Structure 1
Amino acid sequence: MQAARGASLSDAHTGPESHVHPVRWAEFAAVAVFLLVLDQITKLWAVATLVPGQPQELIGSVLQLNIIRNPGAAFSTGTGFTWFFTTLSIAATIGVLWFARRVRHRGWAIALGILVAGISGNLVDRLTREPGFYVGHVVDFLQLPNWPIFNVADMCINVAAVLIVILSFRGIGLDGSVDGGAKDEVETGSEDEAK
């Protein structure tokens, strides 16, 4: 039985939202895996090379290498709630993976790949590092003046947040569609540039 001429019955039951877009999923996964591996390699290097309490200048006093073990969040907040941050990270990772299934736009695939790399990078620390499973301390080692010490995973989370804000502000949906208001602004901007 055919649902419509030239379309199989299975096509009738599967819309664009019901399956993973293979190209976008591959882009998402490639970004996520690359950045997660980079985060973990840099942390292994920092643990093997840096000595706590002995910062080293990387770019003068602007960027230093200074290793700490952080049980909490940014600015060492919530240090007694490591288990909560672990649980939150697991939920966030699952949420991002769920949204990534619906992505049809390259920008969203990249942004969510960066985001899941950042979340899971610190999650790996909380699950595998001392003092133990689910309460491990995150390895931070990059220090800017008047800013909390951070790592590659933290950078990923911040970059992803900026990209998500830009995509949302432009009205670009996960499927690549552009909402009416944002589309009008984009078209108006394009017409102005053409003049």
Structure 2
Amino acid sequence: MTRWFRGGILFAAAFVFAADRLTKYFIIKSLVLGQSIKVIPDIFHITLVFNDGAAFGVLRNCGPFFIIFSFAVIAFILLVVSRSPRLDRLTAMSLALILGGAAGNLIDRLQFGYVIDFLDFRVWPVFNIADSCITIGVALIACSIIFKRSG
């Protein structure tokens, strides 16, 4: 794997991280806790929530575990990216999404003791860009593994 390819993975992760941090900054400056703005009534709102659990509000009050787990995930991904002789593009993009998302939520936990969530689809727990990227990254890796085994 070339330096450019590794750099691309880190650049994509940095983009995810920046998008997550910027959106959270604007939300926290614009709304008060619990405030909700209707974007599409009864379907999609922007709602400020402080989440001390995992993605989508599961496993509440486990902050120290998530901090340690986030550091471990970030370290593992950086190790894989730096040591792997070859990664396919799908795996590389998946790792970038997870890395950027994990870093974004980790900063929230270290700075505030909770994660700032704001994307509210009303039928699903409130979440953020980092949660979305982590979920998409994990789903892509799972699909990649399944299709490689079956193909």
> Shared fold by TM > 0.5?
yes
Q: Distance in 2 between matches of 1:96 and 1:143?
A: 29
TM-aligned CA distance change 1:37 to 1:99, over 3 Å:
same
- Out of 14, 17, 28, the residue aligned to residue 47 of structure 1 is 28
Q: Distance in 1 between matches of 2:106 and 2:31?
A: 22
Alignment of 1:1-195 (within 5 A): 21-101=2-82, 102=84, 103-129=86-112, 136-171=113-148, 182=151
Q: Distance in 2 between matches of 1:128 and 1:94?
A: 19
Unaligned runs of 5+ in 1: 1-19, 130-135, 172-178, 183-195
1:127 positional shift: 1.1
Q: Deviations over 1:31-55 (max 9, x none)?
A: 1000100000000001000122221
Q: Distance in 1 between matches of 2:59 and 2:144?
A: 31
Identity %: 30
1:166 positional shift: 2.1
More divergent stretch after superposition (27-36 vs 49-58):
49-58
- Contact 1:73–1:79 (8 Å) recurs in 2: yes
Aligned positions, number: 149
Q: Distance in 1 between matches of 2:118 and 2:9?
A: 27
Q: Deviations over 1:3-56 (max 9, x none)?
A: xxxxxxxxxxxxxxxxx5313202211110001000000000010001222211
TM-aligned CA distance change 1:170 to 1:78, over 3 Å:
closer
Per the normalisation by structure 2, the TM-score is: 0.90
TM-aligned CA distance change 1:39 to 1:75, over 3 Å:
closer
Q: Deviations over 1:104-125 (max 9, x none)?
A: 3222111100111111110010
- Contact 2:55–2:131 (8 Å) recurs in 1: no
Unaligned runs of 5+ in 2: none
1:75 positional shift: 4.9
CA RMSD of aligned residues (A): 1.7
Moved over 6 A (4+): none
1:81 positional shift: 1.7
